[in-house]
Amino acid sequence: MKVLVIYYSQSGQLKSILDSICNPLINEPYIQVDYYAIKPINPHPFPWQSKSFFNVFPETVLEIPEDIEPCPPEILKKSYDLIILGYPIWYLSIALPILSFLKSDATKMLLKNKKVITVIGCRNMWTQAQDKLISHLKQISADWIGNIVLKDRHSNLISVVTIVDWMFSGIKRRKYGLLPLPGVSQNDIKNCSKFGERILIHLKNNTWRNLQSDLLKLGAVETNFSLAKIESTASKIFNKWATIIHKTPSKRNLLLKIFKIYLQIVIFLLSPIFNFFYYLCGLVNPSYTKKTIKKYNGIY
**Count, residues near ligand FMN per rule CB under 6 A:** 20
Quick check: 11 binds ligand FMN (CB under 6 A)?
yes
Nearer to ligand FMN, 200 or 221 (CB): 221
Binds ligand FMN by CB under 6 A, chosen from 4, 122, 199, 242: 122
Q: CA 91 → CA 176, 228, 279, 296, distances in Å?
A: 25, 14, 22, 18
Out of 36, 126, 144, 225, name the contact with ligand FMN by CB under 6 A.
126
Nearer to ligand FMN, 31 or 189 (CB): 189
Please report how close the Cβ of residue 91 comes to ligand FMN at its closest, in angstroms: 5
- Classify residue 300 by burial, with Cβ atoms within 10 Å: 0-12, 13-18, 19+: exposed
1/263 with CB nearer ligand FMN: 263
CB of 11 vs ligand FMN, minimal distance in Å: 3
Output 38 or 145, the one with its CB closest to ligand FMN. 38
116 binds ligand FMN (CB under 6 A): no
- Under 8 Å CB-to-CB from 298, ≥6 apart: which residues? 146, 147, 212, 215, 216, 221
Q: Which residues bind ligand FMN (CB under 6 A)?
A: 9-11, 13-14, 53, 56, 88-92, 121-126, 163, 167
